[in-house]
Structure 1
Amino acid sequence: MSVLKVSGFEIHKAYLSTEAQNDLLNDLRDVVRIAPFTAPVTPGGKPMSVKMTAAGPYGWVTDHEGYRYSPTHPLGSPWPEMPQSVLDIWRDVTSLAQTPECCLINYYGEGARMGLHRDKDEASFEWPVVSVSLGDDGLFRMGGRARGDATQSIWLNSGDVVVMGGAARLAYHGVDRIRFGSSSLLAKGGRINLTMRVVSI
């Protein structure tokens, strides 16, 4: 494992072993059985190319009412508990006693992407956001606090973890594309990205 620092983004390359990735994936399958992936749309009605679900007290949702955190899945049930494997990653890379309240789970299929955005729906920005990559490689783009700032890109591989805190907490970032089929972790291909956030404090 190595740690890269790019404009405040702390990138832990090869953080998870193959065994740990498979164990985490099994935990996520338990989450998805309770809270199935949904196909989100923006407040303007535009379908997003990723599919989403979540674990923890809150999930992040988007629909015609706007972007927000919700204590319930779009189908109405509470979100499942956050797996201990997810909490262990958070504690190890942040060394914080405070635990995340949302683990957003995005699935990127072939052709999916995530435009440049900032995570800014939380009550406070003092806590980092922790991102975990599983499956196919994703081209991660990192910018600054203004949308027009210069950007840098790096390929994130399965098992990589990114900590976005400090100067990177409100920086623009996104996933321009994935290399579909570049990993054998997911039987049908694709990329899963977890982002852990402190929501209400």
Structure 2
Amino acid sequence: MTFAWEKAMMTDLFGDRCKEPLAEGAVILRGFALDRGLVDVVSTIAKAAPFRHMQTRGGRQIGVEMTNCGSLGWVSDQRGYRYEATDPLTGKPWPSMPEGFGDLANAAAGAAGFGSFRPDACLINRYAPGVKMGLHQDKDEAGFDAPIVSVSLGLPATFQFGGIERSDPVRRHELRHGDVVVWGGPARLAWHGILTLKQGEHPETGRSRINLTFRLAGYR
């Protein structure tokens, strides 16, 4: 199977026309991940590490369902936010990151102007209509040199992207199936989130949106 990002690398199929700048160090790659195989792989991962609602430090249930793949997985409970090598639900290591996932993340980072990117964690979020993700920073990693690569699958969503200060202006951008957002460098700690997901039905994901967030946690 030849994936869309591989075609882009070989033929420059997408070019700059589908790169939508958000800020210095941040870009949306429109339609960069349109392959049916991605949703199928997520289903396989979820059989080994089921989606679940994690809790915040304060004991509040997070509305988005989550799971992970890779050598590390992001977890949240009353002990705080962190990365762990073992799934606390199953007691087993997280499913290995599929090679195609890593290749996609690396290709997207390259298309956005970053160097080689080999993530060790992929946080998988599943949104149902009525669920949102509040503004936050991705700062649980050991370092911030590597970018974040975020892949949208399924229902469209409104992505909020601000600056590195909480008080900075926040702009809204529609994300559709196959869009990839990459941010790093001066934008690495930008505040971002997802507004409440609207009702809808997608032919590949049904009544849900799936988000793959690739990160280099950097813990050994």
Whether the 8 Å contact between 2:57 and 2:79 is mirrored in structure 1 is yes
Map 1:46-125 onto structure 2 (within 5 A). Answer: 46-75=60-89, 76-95=91-110, 96-125=115-144
For residue 177 of structure 2, what is the aligned residue in structure 1? 158
Whether the 8 Å contact between 2:109 and 2:117 is mirrored in structure 1 is no
The Cα of 1:180 is off from its aligned counterpart by 2.6
Whether the 8 Å contact between 2:33 and 2:151 is mirrored in structure 1 is no
Q: Provide TM-score, normalisation by structure 1.
A: 0.94
For residue 213 of structure 2, what is the aligned residue in structure 1? 195
Q: Separation in 1 of the partners of 2:117 and 2:124? A: 20
Q: Separation in 2 of the partners of 1:152 and 1:73? A: 35
Gap regions ≥5 residues in structure 1: none
Q: Separation in 2 of the partners of 1:31 and 1:141? A: 28
Residue identity matched to 1:3: K
Q: Separation in 2 of the partners of 1:100 and 1:48? A: 24
Deviations 1:52-76 (A, max 9, x none): 0000000000000000001111221
For residue 27 of structure 2, what is the aligned residue in structure 1? 10
**Deviating more after overlay: 88-97 vs 31-40:** 88-97
Residue identity matched to 2:87: H
- Identity over the aligned pairs, expressed in percent? 41
The Cα of 1:86 is off from its aligned counterpart by 1.0
Deviations 1:20-63 (A, max 9, x none): 1x101111111111100111110001111100000000000000
Residue identity matched to 1:4: E
Q: Separation in 2 of the partners of 1:98 and 1:91? A: 5
**Deviating more after overlay: 133-142 vs 176-185:** 176-185
Aligned to 1:106, the other structure's residue is in SS state strand
The Cα of 1:185 is off from its aligned counterpart by 1.7
Whether the 8 Å contact between 1:4 and 1:12 is mirrored in structure 2 is yes
Gap regions ≥5 residues in structure 2: 1-13
Q: Provide TM-score, normalisation by structure 2.
A: 0.86
The Cα of 1:191 is off from its aligned counterpart by 0.3
For residue 157 of structure 2, what is the aligned residue in structure 1? 138
Whether the 8 Å contact between 1:134 and 1:191 is mirrored in structure 2 is yes
Aligned to 1:55, the other structure's residue is in SS state strand
Matched, 1:173 2:189: no
Which structure's CA Rg is the greater one? 2
Residue identity matched to 2:81: Y
Cα root mean square deviation, aligned: 1.3
